[in-house]
């Protein structure tokens, strides 16, 4: 397979950046010098409340929201597949973790990295667009250390809604795999996205005595949208995030505010080893400053684990729209996000309906024809693996960074200038089987 590849040059970065800013700049059509991002505006006007009340009249507490069409004024101008990249926008913290020689300190920095991205969100109460089946999104980063990071994601299932994703920094031997499964529920005056998915972080060059790479599994807190019926609307993270490494683990509780007491956005957790011995205490707020305290030292003071105000995220870059496929997130949802950017919710609603209705027609046709849907980029996991879905291609841990980059870029266009090939349309499981046969033949 051949790909026409243009490395991430400054001109490529400019074109990707211009695409990224299109939806924001289009919101400033009135000549006003100040550009306002509509993701930061709460659209809670009277007509919006009427729409919400109409939906709520059809619901019962505890019911599944994934089958309900929500009003567009609460939608972010971003698909869930792109929203996932919020967790990957602090690579400097990840580099610090990877380069740390002490295992306990390395675990602390893995925690800091994973906690770092949760505060990246619209200022208003907005939810990302639900990806359609087969939708995919790719991105890349030109990092300050002259390395590149790559991201591939795809909507692998619609009911339940599962998003598979893959991220890698080959030259630093860092890999992240994950599946996001938001199960939405209506709870009365709030809705909840119960985040069932898991993230797996691997440092490929740090091996244990059995030669296995160092691995961390990281769960996600649940997300609550409060004040749907009455009161001010706001988002809270709640419940537990569990992070496990080879030796240490932590259960971080995201505390939600009670009706009478408590505070918003607080977190609390204790780092322990597998035998239950306690080492550090985590406190603070996930969208402000997070602290850590050494429990082994009497009278120890809290120190900063991560300050969301002093660390700037590294935004992903994306290929220009005219190079994207019809099912790539930004191209697929462009008419919707353009309408949202100018607060034209009538057009946004209609365009969104057209996309989703077409998906319903395709689903009916698959049933009639007896055809099953297969993702193009992710395969179902083998027994014993941590996740439900993995990127289809086996990328050898011991391959050179150059070989790994070549393997990544052959899976899907990521960098500006790349072209689609006929192989892209082949279902992921078939491409995986072909590669497995080739690997077996090479070994023999």
Per-residue pLDDT tens for 337-395? 999 999 998 999 999 999 999 999 999 999 999 999 999 999 999 999 999 999 999 99
Residues 174-181, mean pLDDT to the nearest whole number: 98
- Rounded CA-CA distance 293/270 in Å is 9
Residue by residue, DSSP assigns 210-233 as TSPEEEEEEE--EEEEE-SSSS--
pLDDT score of 63: 59
| % of the chain with per-residue pLDDT over 70 | 84
pLDDT score of 443: 75
What token pair was written down for 265?
Answer: 């956005």
Residues 403-423, mean pLDDT to the nearest whole number: 97
- Rounded CA-CA distance 129/225 in Å is 15
pLDDT score of 260: 63
345 versus 243: the higher-pLDDT residue is 243
pLDDT score of 95: 98
Residue 217 reports pLDDT greater than 60: yes
Phi, psi of 391 (to 5 degrees): -55, 140
Q: Mean pLDDT score of the chain, rounded to an integer?
A: 87
- Residue 414 CB-half CA count within 13 A: 26
What token pair was written down for 62?
Answer: 């505890």
pLDDT score of 12: 36
pLDDT score of 188: 73
Collapsing DSSP to helix, strand or coil, 17 comes out as: helix
280-294 per-position pLDDT tens digit: 999 999 999 999 999
Q: What residues have CB less than 8 Å from 278, skipping those under 6 apart?
A: 270, 271, 272, 295
Contact predicate 82/152, CB 8 Å: no
Band (13; pLDDT cuts 50, 70, 90): very low
Residue 253 reports pLDDT greater than 80: yes
Residue 58 reports pLDDT greater than 70: no
Contact predicate 311/90, CB 8 Å: yes
| % of the chain with per-residue pLDDT over 90 | 72
Residue whose C-alpha is closest to residue 168's, from 405, 367, 1: 405
CA angle, 53 as apex, 50 and 54 as ends, to 5°?
A: 85
Residue 312 reports pLDDT greater than 60: yes
Residue 379: in which H helix or E strand, if any?
strand 378-380
- Rounded CA-CA distance 39/226 in Å is 17
pLDDT score of 72: 72
Band (59; pLDDT cuts 50, 70, 90): low
402-411 per-position pLDDT tens digit: 999 999 999 9
Contact predicate 198/387, CB 8 Å: yes
Phi, psi of 129 (to 5 degrees): -65, 135
What token pair was written down for 378?
Answer: 């992710």
pLDDT score of 308: 97
Residue 208 reports pLDDT greater than 50: yes
- Rounded CA-CA distance 182/180 in Å is 6
Look-up: residue for tokens 């209609």? 350
pLDDT score of 233: 82
294-304 per-position pLDDT tens digit: 999 999 999 99
202: which DSSP letter? E
Band (278; pLDDT cuts 50, 70, 90): very high
Band (60; pLDDT cuts 50, 70, 90): low
- Rounded CA-CA distance 301/318 in Å is 43
């Amino acid at each position: 397979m051949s790909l026409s590849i243009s490395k991430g040059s400054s001109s490529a970065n400019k074109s990707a950046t211009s695409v990224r800013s299109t939806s924001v700049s289009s919101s400033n059509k009135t000549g006003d010098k100040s550009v306002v991002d509509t993701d930061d505006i709460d659209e809670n006007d009277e007509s919006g409340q009427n729409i919400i009340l109409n939906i709520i009249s059809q619901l019962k507490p505890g019911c599944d929201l994934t089958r309900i069409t929500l009003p567009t004024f609460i939608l972010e101008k971003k698909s869930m597949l792109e929203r996932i990249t919020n967790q990957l926008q602090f690579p400097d913290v990840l580099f610090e973790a990877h380069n740390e020689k002490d295992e306990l300190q390395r675990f602390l920095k893995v925690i800091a990295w994973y906690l770092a991205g949760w505060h990246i969100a619209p200022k208003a109460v907005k939810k990302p667009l639900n990806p359609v089946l087969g939708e995919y999104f790719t991105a890349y980063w030109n990092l300050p250390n002259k390395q590149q990071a790559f991201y591939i994601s795809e909507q692998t299932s619609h009911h339940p809604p599962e998003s598979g994703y893959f991220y890698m920094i080959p030259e630093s031997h860092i890999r992240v795999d994950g599946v996001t499964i938001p199960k939405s529920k209506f709870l009365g005056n709030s809705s909840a996205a119960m985040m069932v998915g898991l993230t797996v972080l691997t440092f490929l060059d740090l091996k244990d005595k059995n030669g296995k790479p160092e691995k961390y599994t990281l769960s996600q807190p649940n997300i609550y949208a409060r004040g749907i019926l009455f009161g001010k609307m706001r988002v809270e993270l709640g419940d537990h995030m569990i992070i496990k490494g080879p030796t240490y683990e932590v259960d971080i509780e995201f505390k939600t505010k009670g009706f009478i007491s408590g505070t918003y956005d607080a977190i609390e957790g204790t780092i322990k080893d597998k035998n239950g011995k306690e080492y550090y205490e985590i406190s603070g707020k996930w969208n402000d400053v997070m602290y850590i305290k050494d429990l082994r030292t009497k009278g120890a003071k809290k120190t900063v684990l991560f300050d969301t105000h002093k660390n700037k995220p590294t935004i992903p870059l994306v290929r220009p729209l005219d190079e994207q496929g019809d099912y790539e997130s930004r191209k697929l949802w462009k008419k919707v996000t353009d309408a949202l950017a100018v607060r034209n919710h009538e057009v946004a609603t209609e365009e969104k309906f057209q996309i989703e209705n077409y998906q319903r027609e395709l689903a009916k046709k698959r049933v009639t024809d007896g055809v099953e849907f297969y993702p193009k980029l992710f395969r179902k996991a083998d027994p014993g693996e941590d996740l439900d879905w993995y990127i289809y291609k086996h990328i050898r841990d011991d391959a050179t960074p150059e070989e790994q980059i070549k393997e990544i870029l052959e899976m899907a266009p990521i960098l500006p200038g790349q072209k689609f090939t006929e192989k892209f349309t082949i279902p992921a499981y078939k491409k995986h089987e072909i590669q497995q046969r080739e690997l077996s033949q090479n070994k023999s």
